[in-house]
């Protein structure tokens, strides 16, 4: 009897997992995930464009791009700004008046937009120490220095840091920074480097603490500021 029940519960678990997977590709599955109205979302996002740009491609590096982000992640963040579990004075004020329906519509709209590519980050004055010893201030050398930082970031993204036990980002955010839609892990590719640096620094300090299981805090707190910058530069160039 016990064995039979076990078999039954395993097959039930499998069946429900299959139906979730199946529903993922099915736009008519509102019982699993609210599906917003893209056209209504476009209208409702009018007040967002001043910071997040047309089609969610912000021109200001500290305002995140929202284009092509998974709608389930956007929905979660907007609710978090609204209920105060994620703190940002500008965003809390913007999210407060939104209804649940506004949030799903706006999120569906941004998820359906295409994210724009970034140009190579410009070497900042505090990157100077990372410059190879022989480098001068010639533009070509600066470009080499940026490429070296990006290569370091690429290694961290793919392999993590075994010594300091930083997990490889690729495991959750995907080989192309596309995130994981069923798991609602956010896409990162082509995001502004400055915003990524702020996000990781906020996870590290705990200023941003609404992340599930505190996953990103556990990872970011083991990262050095240099690693945060390198991986952010790398991700900003992913297409
Ligand atoms: C005055 C500027 C401003 C306006 C207007 C604004 N935002 Fe934001 N938004 C920000 C900033 C700044 C952040 C980053 C907050 C942080 O660093 O945690 C942000 C973050 C977000 C995020 C989280 C993105 C992520 O990758 O985690 C979402 C979603 C978002 N905004 C949606 C909206 C929507 C929808 C509107 C319109 C209803 C809107 N914003 C209007 C400035 C703005
Ligand atoms: C075990 C899974 C997992 C791993 C590994 C992981 N992340 Fe994340 N990451 C998440 C989840 C889940 C979120 C969403 C957190 C939230 O909802 O606030 C996230 C959010 C982020 C964000 C915020 C995105 C935004 O738009 O605001 C950044 C940046 C980020 N991760 C970078 C990284 C980097 C860099 C690494 C590797 C060093 C990494 N992550 C490794 C699961 C992971």
CA distances in angstroms from 56 to 48, 53, 67, 95, listed in the order given: 8, 5, 5, 16
Q: Residue 17: which pLDDT band, with cuts at 50, 70 and 90?
A: very low
Return mean pLDDT, the chain. 87
- For residues 239 and 191, give the distance between their C-alpha atoms in angstroms, rounded to a whole number: 10
pLDDT tops 90 at residue 134: no
Nearest to 169 by CA among 136, 138, 199, 139: 199
Mutating to test ligand 1, I would choose from 38, 91, 110 the residue with most ligand atoms within 8 A of its C-beta, which is 91
Residue 55 has pLDDT above 90, yes or no: yes
Mutating to test ligand 1, I would choose from 46, 52, 191 the residue with most ligand atoms within 8 A of its C-beta, which is 52
- pLDDT for 155-195, tens place per residue? 999 999 999 999 999 999 999 999 999 999 999 999 999 99
Residue 132 has pLDDT above 70, yes or no: no
Give me Rg for the CA atoms of the chain. Answer: 20
- What does the alpha-carbon distance between residue 66 and residue 52 come to, in Å, rounded to a whole number? 7
Does the CB atom of residue 200 touch ligand 2 within 6 A? Answer: yes
- Give whole-number Cα distances, 94 to 35, 69, 103, 141, in Å: 22, 19, 11, 43
Cβ within 8 Å of residue 93, ≥6 positions away: none
Question: CB–CB of 153/234 below 8 Å?
Answer: yes
Measured in Å, residue 52 CA sits from the centre of ligand 1 at 7
Q: Which residues line ligand 1 (CB under 6 A)?
A: 45, 47-48, 50-52, 62-64, 66, 74, 77-78, 88, 90-91, 94, 106, 198
Predicted confidence at residue 19, as pLDDT, reads: 41
Q: How far does the centroid of ligand 2 lie from the alpha carbon of residue 12, in Å?
A: 31
pLDDT of residue 122: 82
Mean pLDDT across 135-149? 81
How far apart are alpha carbons 166 and 90 in whole angstroms?
A: 31
pLDDT of residue 140: 81
Query: What pLDDT, on the 0 to 100 scale, is given for residue 131?
Result: 52
Question: Among residues 118, 105, 115, which one has the least CA distance to residue 54?
Answer: 115
pLDDT over 50 at 41, yes or no: yes
């Amino acid at each position: 009897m016990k064995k039979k029940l076990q078999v039954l519960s395993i097959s039930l678990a499998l069946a429900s997992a299959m139906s979730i997977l199946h529903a993922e590709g099915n736009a008519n599955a509102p019982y699993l995930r609210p599906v917003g109205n893209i056209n209504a979302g476009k209208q409702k996002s009018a007040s967002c464009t001043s910071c997040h740009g047309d089609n969610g491609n912000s021109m200001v590096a500290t305002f995140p791009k929202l284009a092509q982000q998974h709608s389930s992640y956007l929905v979660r963040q907007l609710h978090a700004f609204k209920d105060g579990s994620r703190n940002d004075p500008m965003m809390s004020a913007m999210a407060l008046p939104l209804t649940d329906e506004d949030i799903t519509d706006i999120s569906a709209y941004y998820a359906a937009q295409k994210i724009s590519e970034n140009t190579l980050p410009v070497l900042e004055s505090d990157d100077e120490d990372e410059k190879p010893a022989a480098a001068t201030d010639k533009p070509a050398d600066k470009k080499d220095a940026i490429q070296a930082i990006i290569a370091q970031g690429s290694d961290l993204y793919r392999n993590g840091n075994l010594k300091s036990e930083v997990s490889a980002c690729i495991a959750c955010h995907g080989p192309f920074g596309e995130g994981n839609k069923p798991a609602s892990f956010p896409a990162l590719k082509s995001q502004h480097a400055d915003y990524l640096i702020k996000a990781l620094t906020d996870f590290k300090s705990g200023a941003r603490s609404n992340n599930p299981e505190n996953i990103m805090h556990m990872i970011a707190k083991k990262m050095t500021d240099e690693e945060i910058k390198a991986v952010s530069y790398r991700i900003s160039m992913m297409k």
